[in-house]
Structure 1
Amino acid sequence: MKKPSDASSLATSRVRDLSDSSFSSTPLVDPGITVLRGDFSVSNIVEAAHFGTTFVARIRANPHVIVWERDPATYEHILFIFVTHGTMVFSSTGGYSTSPDGGICLIYPGAEDFTFESKTPTEVLTFSFDGRKLGILVSETTRSGQLRANSPTARVAYAYLSSLLKTSKEIQGGSDKPLREMTQHLARALVADTAPVSGSKEHLLERATATINNWATSPSFGVPSLASILGVSRRTLERVYAEVHETPGFAIRAARLKIARTMIASNPTARFESVAVASGFGSVDSLRRALKSSRISDEPRELL
């Protein structure tokens, strides 16, 4: 039997807003949190800071079990949890993981609900942000990656975030831009550090294909985004594709063309503007150019 949380107390907390020199009432603890066992509330937040959709908090709590029921507003959020004391168990429909002292839990974008369980007193440092707003694209292939707790990136991240919590109280209005940029760079570096190490070239191509199929409909998705998601340099990506006489740019364009053709075949009266946007080309001109340069010889002439 679930123990309903006090929505009013869990929904907001007075934390330091780095975009303003004064305190503000901010939705730090998601109202989708339900306490199943133990006590967990805003009072557990020792210190916190935020700007925009980026939140950093240090939390201390006695044994508890809580469920985070995600809603569309948090589907794109990425959450890092640095366990500094005690042991946390994190579980979802995709499985579970345990993070002891010095461990790190990573929750990627998605709609899955998560259960957090602590059987001993714990202290954690959390870092959450909206990946899309920072230009971070995460595919299903990236979700298999593991963040190494002893990696240089993880150690630097923990030190920086701890310092941010201490110094945020000294930030004056209008002077937070450097911190914003540093924190955004840190977020990107942490996500990149979770990317699985590339195995064979064939495996990299398989991952690239899966990623392209997931993101082809996004107009902003391109070769730089693909390389970033896969955790490799653009040069490495282009070299691997060259061995199969192709380019990553062509692979992305081919995926979009396939989507466009499917849309037109299923609805011959569809407007080209709608097809161009929905297939990821963004504009009719881009779609037409891609059709004309396509290697596929059976392209319907009326589409050109």
Structure 2
Amino acid sequence: MFDRNDLLRNGKLRNVRLAKQGNDSVRTNDVNATDYSPSSHDPNHRYDSESVGNTHFQPLAGNKKMTSRSAIFPEVSFSHINLPATVLDWKRENSTAEMATMTFVIHGHVEISTPDNKILKRHPGVYLIPPETGDVVYKTTAPANELIGVSLSSRLFATILPDYKTFLMMGQNTKLDVVSLQPLLAFVVSACNLNNPHSQMVDTLENVANDVARSLLIACFGQGMSVMPLIERVRKYVSQNYTDQTLSVTKTAEHENVSVRTVQLALQEADTNFTALVRRARTDAALELRKSQPSLTLVEIGDRCGFGSVSSLRRALKLYEQMENREVDPE
């Protein structure tokens, strides 16, 4: 619930400790896995007693304590928070507004609200704040409350739950099997408590963190939805738009709300590339037209199937025949 731009500097992982007691000022102690410049973030910096970063809260009376520990990766952030009864007003600005955040109420009671009422909920005590959601208010009412936060970039979120809005039409009151989530949440807490991991370890931690966030998101809000893998969504988009001669990997990535590199990696994992995918879709369509309408000329078939010229159509058909011959070749 803190601004990633303030916490994530040049390193891939940053562990952040925030602590507050009564009306004392907040102190931070950052431990980074890579080089860190103290001048860029003074660990002795004193914050206003009613705000940390872009989160504002009611003053804590007496000896009540609030602590927050976070592990921040490029596309995933974890938080482990313990706090008394209070109200946190999270101003979701800049990079935080684009993120999706899951909140798990481990102990205590919390009420979460937004002006646009976009919050999704699973019982018991699991909340999802989708990307592009406005400011969020957390109201904890128990004497002691423990929360775990898992935030994902909008890009990563879109690759996991492209159809998350359909959850609003599902029964949100179905009870969640929280026991199955305990190992994943235990990893989140452990990551928040790491002290200066070796740089060789950070890449592995980042991959595991992404997998844990993905698993939690699907387990809590992906069941019952049509969660189609990115490669299948790309194939579907190409099959629906192969006649467009301006079809490109950039246009496809924009449609899927992901980066071009993400689309390329999905294609690479499927042992193909965008050019081959488009060519195959157009070739299949051309073969079907030749079969169903034999009177059509190659020019007409090429125009209808998105080929820029008759020569490109002929090359595609020749390549198809060569591939077919290889498949039937006994060697």
Return the TM-score normalized by structure 2. Answer: 0.53
Q: Show the counterpart of 1:3.
A: none
Measured in 2, the distance between the counterparts of 1:69 and 1:299 equals 56
What are the within-5 Å matches in structure 2 for residues 84-99 of structure 1? 84-92=106-114, 93-94=116-117
Matched, 1:74 2:74: no
Quote the Cα distance in structure 1 between the aligned partners of 2:6 and 2:69. 16
Contact 1:136–1:188, Cα closer than 8 Å, also in 2:
no
The reply to whether residue 160 of structure 1 matches residue 183 of structure 2 is no
Letter in 2 for 1:141: Y
Which secondary structure does the structure 2 equivalent of 1:110 belong to? coil
Which secondary structure does the structure 2 equivalent of 1:55 belong to? strand
Mind listing any 5+ residue stretches in structure 2 that lack a counterpart? 8-15, 17-27, 43-50, 254-259, 261-273, 290-299, 308-331
- Quote the Cα distance in structure 1 between the aligned partners of 2:187 and 2:275: 45
Larger radius of gyration: 2
1:86, 1:123 within 8 Å by CA — same for their partners in 2?
A: yes
Match of 1:280 in 2: 252
Q: 1:284 to 1:46 in 2, by over 3 A?
A: closer
Given the alignment of the two structures, is residue 255 of structure 1 paired with residue 269 of structure 2, yes or no?
no
CA distance in 1, matches of 2:117, 2:279: 41
1:17–1:49 Cα contact (<8 Å) kept: no
Q: State how 1:1-304 maps to structure 2 within 5 Å.
A: 14-17=28-31, 19-20=33-34, 25=41, 31-35=53-57, 44-92=66-114, 93-94=116-117, 103-121=125-143, 122-130=145-153, 132=155, 136-141=159-164, 144=167, 150-166=177-193, 168-169=194-195, 171-198=197-224, 207=226, 221-223=230-232, 249=235, 251-257=236-242, 261=244, 272=246, 275-280=247-252, 287=278, 289-294=280-285, 301=303, 303-304=306-307
In structure 2, relative to structure 1, the CA distance for the partners of 1:280 and 1:88 (3 Å cut) is same
Structure 1 gap ranges (5+): 1-6, 199-203, 213-220, 227-247, 265-271
**Does the CA-based 8 Å contact 1:131-1:137 persist in structure 2?**
no
Shift of 1:87: 1.0
Shift in Å at residue 49 of structure 1? 2.8
Q: Percent of counterpart pairs with the same letter?
A: 14
- TM-aligned CA deviation for residue 131 of structure 1: 5.4
Q: Are the aligned partners of 2:103 and 2:127 in contact in 1 as well (CA < 8 Å)?
A: yes
- Indicate the SS of the match to 2:104: strand
Counterparts of 1:139 and 1:125, CA distance in 2: 24
What is the CA–CA distance in structure 1 between the aligned matches of 2:125 and 2:37, rounded to whole Å? 31
Measured on the aligned residues, the alpha-carbon RMSD in Å equals: 4.5
CA 1:114–1:256 in 2, change beyond 3 Å: closer, same or farther? farther
Count of residues paired in the alignment? 236
Runs of 4+ in 1 over 4 A off after TM superposition: 10-13, 15-18, 21-24, 29-32, 37-40, 95-100, 145-149, 281-289, 295-300
Contact 1:18-1:49 at 8 Å conserved across structures: no
Aligned equivalents of 2:94, 2:209: Cα separation in 1: 24
The residue type equivalent to 1:130 in the other structure is S
